[in-house]
Structure 1
Amino acid sequence: MSRVPRLSAVALAAALVLLVGGPASAGEPTVSDPRVVAPFDFAAGQTPENIALEPDGSADLTFAFARQVARVTREGATTVLATLPEVADPQTPGLGAAIVTGIARAHDGTLYVNYATGTAENGIWRLAPGGGAPEQIVALPSDALPNGLALDEECETLYVADSARGLVWSVPLDTRTPAVWASGAALEPTAAIAFGANGLKVHHGAVWVSNTARSTLLRIPIGEDRAAGPIETRATGLTTIDDFGFTGHGDTVLAALVMEGRLELVRPDGTHRTVLTAADGLDNPTSVAVRAKTVYVPSAAYFTPVKDPNLLLARISKNKL
C-alpha cells in the first residue's frame, strides 16, 4: 500500500534507482494477451489492494478505501462479500484513513483480511465461508500498519507485513496472539518513504517480503523451530514494489511496481525485466496472483490523473525460444 500524499517522495526515490533489465531468456515465463476484465469505481473507493484466488478462478479482492472485500469472476462480474465496520476517528500510520489491505484464503473458504485503522479495530479480520459479518480475530498495536498477509496452513500460522514498523508478525491461529517474527533494517521504511515491508508470501519454506521504501525483494527462511532465519536480499532496483506473486514452483516472481505502473518479471538471480505496462491496461498495479496459465493483476489508480482501477488478466506461458 502506498500513500498518495507522499507522491513526491516516492517519485524522487524512483528517479534515483536504476532498474536491472534484459531480454527474455529461453525457458523463462512470458506474459501475453493482457485484457481488462473488470473496471472499478475510484470515487466509490473501489481501489483493489490485494488478491486471493478461488478454486473456480474467481478473484477475491480487497477494496482499500471502500473497506470492502469483493469477488470478481473471470468474466468480470463483481459481488461485494463484506464491508468492514466504519471507524469514527481512524489514525492509520501515514494515512489517517481506514483501509483494507492484505487478504489470504484457507482451503475451507475462510478469508482473512488486514484492516489498518490505527484504533482498536487494527488487525486481522475473518470472513466465514458461509458469509455473515466480518469478525476481528487479532488485534495489532495502533501504530502498526498491517499490509501483506499470508496463511501457512501447514502450521496454521498467519504472517503479516507491517509497513509502518518495518517488521513481520506471526500469528498462530490457535492462540491468535501476534508476535514479532522478523525485524531489521532490511524490512524498515526510510526517511524518504514511510512504507517498508509491504507484500508477503509463504513459499518453499520461507517468508518472502517486498520493501517498498528500499525497492527490494527479500527472503526469510523458516527454521525447524519456526523461527525466522537471516534476511536475504533476493532482488534490488524494484522501484515502488508493492505486492508480488510466484509464477510456479520455482523462485521466479512477478512484481507489481505501483508508482512505475509496471509488472516486472524477477528471475531467481535477481535480474528483472518489464512484462506489462500502462499501455496494456495497468494503472498503479498493487498485487499479483497466478493460477495455471493465467496472471491476475489488480490496479488501484492511486496516483494517475485518469482514474482507471481495474482487474487485468493475462496469459503466462514458457518461452519456447
Structure 2
Amino acid sequence: MKDSKQLSDLYLNSKKDGLTETKAFAKIKTELKNIYHQLGLSALIKTISDISVACFTKSKDAEVFAKGFFSIIAGEGDVVNSEMCSLFEQWLLMFPKSLLLTEMLADIYGAVINETNDVAYTKKLEELVKENPLLKNAALQQSSTLMYSHDTKDVIEYTKAVEKIKSFFDKFPEIEFAIDYANGLKYLTHKQEEEEAIQSVNKLRLLNKNWNNHFIAYEYLNALSSLTWKQDEKACLATLQEMESLWENWPHKPENLAMWLCYTYSNYSLCIEGEEKKAVAKRVNELSVYWEPASRMATQIENGNYQYAVKPARAK
C-alpha cells in the first residue's frame, strides 16, 4: 500500500506526462480505496489532505479530488462528520473562488446540521452564505435547515427562522425557495395563536395564488385546516367555506383538497349537533369519491368516534 508521499509523486508525475487532473486522479484512486477499506475514513481523509498540500496548484485539482472522495465512500454508510468538513474547508481556503467547492461544503454543513443540530455548523453555514450572497445552493441549504428546525424552536424563534427563509426567497424568487417558505409558514401556523396564524395563512394564500404548485397548495390546505384548531364555531365554518370554494378552480390533485376538507369537517363536527352534524357526515362521505378514507371518517362523525378531530379551541 502506497503512502501519501508516493501517491503525491504519482499524481504529479501523471500531470507532468500530460494527463488531466481527472485522469491523474484515476491513477491513484485504487490505492486510495485500499487505504479507505483497510484503514478507515480518517486515514483516507488524512492521506488526501497530505496530497492536497503537496500537489494542488489550481481549483481543478481540489474539485476532482472532492468528487473522487465521495465516489470512494459512496454506499459505505459513513456519516458526514467534522473531519470531512475540515478537509473541504482546507480546499476552500486554498481556492476561495471555486463555486463547486463552496456548494459541496454547504451541502456537507447542511448534512452535519441535520444529523446533529450543532449550532457551530449552523453558524458556519450562515457565514458561507454571507460570504457568497449569490450562491443559490448554499442559500437553499440554509433555508431548508431553518425550515426543518420547527421541532426545536419555540414560536418566537421559529418566527425569526421563517423571516430568514423569506429573505432567501426574496433574494431567489424561485420555486425551491417558495416551497421552503410555504412549509415554514405552515409549521408556524401550528405554533401560533389565532390572530398570528391568520396572518401566516394570508401569506400562504398569496403564495398559493402566485405559484401554481401542488406542494405549496398542499401546505396552504394544511395551514387552513390547522387554523380551525384555534377558532370558534363561526370562524371554523368560514374557513370550511373558503376551502370548499377552492373546488371551482382547483388545478391540483383533488384527493389532497378532499383529505384536508375531511379533517376540517371533522373539527367542525365537534361544534354542532343533530341535523347539522348529519349534513357534515354526508358531505364527508361524498368526498370519498376523491379520497377513500372519507367514508370511514363520515361513519366516525355519525357515531361520535372522533379519532381524527380536534375541537376548535374557542367553540362553545
Q: Same fold (TM over 0.5)?
A: no
TM-score normalised by structure 1 residue count: 0.22
How does the TM-score come out when normalised to structure 2?
0.22
Q: Please tell me whether Structure 1 or Structure 2 has the larger radius of gyration of its CA atoms.
A: 2
Query: Which structure is higher in RCO with an 8 Å CA cutoff and minimum separation 6?
Result: 1
